[in-house]
Structure 1
Amino acid sequence: MSKQNLRAGLVGLGAMGRNHARVLASLDGVELVGVMDPAGDATGAARGAQVVATLPELLALGLDYAVVACPTVLHEEAGLALAEAGVCALIEKPLAHTAAAARRLVDAFDRAGLVAGVGHIERFNPALQSLRSRLEAGELGEMYQVVTRRQGPFPQRIADVGVIKDLATHDIDLTSWMAGCPYASVSARAVSKSGRRHEDMVAVVGELADGTMVSHLVNWLSPLKERFTAVTGERGCFVADTLTADLTFHANGAFATEWEALSAFRGAAEGDMVRFAIPKREPLLVEHERFRDAVEGKANDIVTLVQGLRTVEVAEVVLDSARRKTSLPLQSPHARNLAALTQRS
């Protein structure tokens, strides 16, 4: 007997929603049965799936899981409705517009015993997947610093959150994920130059719990589009370009430096540079494959709601730091969980 496909739905047909529809429509083991968007589908992005105007209509189609790709401020409402209906969900990043809303989503899906994840697509970029594997294998030795730059032209489609919660959450998530360590403190400065109430440029410096230094430069104000991640450590520096999915390694010098002025900087001399040949599959497709497997109960590597919550919490501290123009600590996950248990008892 042939295996029955999972029945998937999609909430939102904006720029990201149209990409989700494209992948869902051709994903092995999945049938895209319905798409919900009050504005309809003038471009045919639903790929033949039924288009409805409300979430109850989408749920009436009988879903195994749904992808939430509506504006961030609507993530909580859509996610809670899916959890109540017993439908698994992949919710676009950031998980929610506030940490309090993100916590409510975590609690709702946890109580319902449903699979749920967050669409932090950068984790599935081939360059970062390879980089993390190499870090775990100890190829860099001790990690010293993670530097990211994420900048590009102003996106007219984003209006409900600023650059910190929209773009910087990519870097917050991938940094903690690659290092396997949470943030301990951040110091940020932000400005708004586009005439909107939300910030559109931010600079962040901080420290992870293990002492690794971090630096993030993020903006919507540059004609140059850049997606850069550099991890410097004991044996050299990895550089990932997630626009091209290229990963290179700049090794420390392997030979003694005769130049006296440089010899004082042991390990900082230039060595070999290697650009790795890595399989380059579309990150969104890999993300969907992992989530499909999770819904089917198979081994998987999805971004959990708890991880998504932690990213929103860090983003809120970054915002607070920028407003107050000071360095701020982050409460550790252990301390936060202990506080929650104390409040419930």
Structure 2
Amino acid sequence: MKPRIAVLGCGYWGSNHIRTLKSLGALSAVSDANLARAEGFASEHDCRAVAPDALFDDPQVDAVVMALPPQFHAEYAIRAVEAGKDVLVEKPVALNVEDAERAVRAGREAGRIYMVGHVLRFHPAFETLKSLIDAGELGEVRYIHSHRLGLGKFHTENDALWDLAPHDLSMILAITGAPPIEVRGEGAALLDHLSDFAHLHMHFANGLRSHLFASRLNPYRERRLTVVGTKAMAVFDDVEPWGRKLAVYRHAVWQDSGQWAFTANEPTYVPVEEGMPLTRELEHFIGCIETRAEPRTTGEEAIEVLRILTAGTVTHD
């Protein structure tokens, strides 16, 4: 039998978890501080509605997916793992490094799975990009830049950096295999005191550089990760249709008689298996529960993401 998983938090992203877990045959219960909301989802998806305080001692729940406002993630994750439940915690896992460290340590000491919802790590295009990098197809990676732009969503607790950047930081850390040694942030707040635009500039020990641009006040959507290597460049563009989501550019640059020359080649579009990242993420979580394997997106990685966010945060009066 599949693990029995409850979803704590029935908001926008929690509802996606609920539908996906139901389709995978693993949804046991739903829970929300607004009991009427939880009961509505329970009725729709033929499962139980459980009050948050009763969830952790529920013998019919093996694991909990947490899609809460981030200030509650650490507290509830600790309660869950200490009650013997495995957890998948949505990003960001906390609002400060100390709370995240406490929660991850509690999960480790309890011997529970502590997975983080960095969903784009499970995107087939990113998985294919990572395999190309690992196989040396791009040569030595020298630069990574990511753009995550659009209009909304607007939060009272999270600015554009904390809301949007964790996705890209998780992908960047997966490629670099190590955290940056230097982080510099820039931000601009137009609506209130929270940044609506954010830039992060990162420097890694091996000389690799990276920058990230996030905006929630942009007139168009952009979801693009670019990796520049010594042999080729690759672009993961999630706005493009499946046949064009991953492009490899084999441009050539060289010196001729002391002058730089180059050839610009047309992109090669790499075939990518179609699949929903959230479905693949939850399938991975179920597999980790069943096999006790370490998740691809660990709590330790989430702590590194929080360290970068903290270092790059710009405060506004």
TM over 0.5, shorter chain: yes
Output one character per residue of 1:280-309: Cα deviation in whole Å (capped at 9) or x when no partner: 110000000111110111656520111111
Deviation at 1:55, TM superposition (A): 3.1
Matching of residue 315 in structure 1 with residue 309 in structure 2: yes
Distance 2:263 2:39 in 1: 55
Distance 1:318 1:45 in 2: 38
Which of 236, 239, 247 is matched with 1:240 structurally?
236
Output one character per residue of 1:58-107: Cα deviation in whole Å (capped at 9) or x when no partner: 64253111100011111012101101111000000111111111001011
Q: Is the 8 A contact 2:185 2:311 kept in 1?
A: no
Deviation at 1:243, TM superposition (A): 3.2
Deviation at 1:272, TM superposition (A): 4.0
Distance 2:38 2:30 in 1: 13
CA gap of 1:307–1:151, structure 2 versus 1, over 3 A, is: same
Match of 1:282 in 2: 276
Distance 2:294 2:76 in 1: 24
Deviation at 1:181, TM superposition (A): 2.5
Amino acid at match of 1:264: Q
Q: Is the 8 A contact 1:80 1:108 kept in 2?
A: yes
Matches within 5 A, 1:3-42: 4-28=1-25, 30=26, 32-39=27-34, 40-41=36-37
Distance 2:65 2:290 in 1: 15
Deviation at 1:279, TM superposition (A): 0.4
Distance 1:83 1:57 in 2: 12
Deviation at 1:130, TM superposition (A): 0.6
Q: Is the 8 A contact 2:200 2:211 kept in 1?
A: yes
Deviation at 1:253, TM superposition (A): 3.5
Q: Is the 8 A contact 2:234 2:247 kept in 1?
A: yes
Match of 1:342 in 2: none
CA gap of 1:317–1:115, structure 2 versus 1, over 3 A, is: same
Structure 2 counterpart SS, 1:86: coil
TM-score, structure 2 normalization:
0.91
Matches within 5 A, 1:1-345: 4-28=1-25, 30=26, 32-39=27-34, 40-41=36-37, 44-46=40-42, 47-57=45-55, 59-156=57-154, 158-195=155-192, 197-244=193-240, 246-253=245-252, 264-266=259-261, 268-297=262-291, 301-319=295-313, 322-323=314-315
Structure 2 counterpart SS, 1:271: coil
Distance 1:253 1:57 in 2: 58
Deviation at 1:23, TM superposition (A): 0.6
CA gap of 1:161–1:242, structure 2 versus 1, over 3 A, is: same
Distance 2:204 2:103 in 1: 26
Deviation at 1:250, TM superposition (A): 0.8
Structure 2 counterpart SS, 1:41: helix
Distance 1:95 1:172 in 2: 14
Number of matched pairs? 310
Structure 2 counterpart SS, 1:296: helix
Runs of 4+ residues deviating >3 angstroms? 42-46, 298-301
Distance 1:285 1:189 in 2: 34
Deviation at 1:11, TM superposition (A): 0.4
Q: Is the 8 A contact 1:207 1:214 kept in 2?
A: yes
**Structure 2 runs not aligned, ≥5 long:** none
Distance 1:87 1:42 in 2: 20
Percent identity over the alignment is 27
Amino acid at match of 1:22: R
CA root-mean-square deviation: 2.2
TM-score, structure 1 normalization:
0.84
**Structure 1 runs not aligned, ≥5 long:** 325-345
Distance 2:168 2:136 in 1: 22
Distance 1:252 1:291 in 2: 39
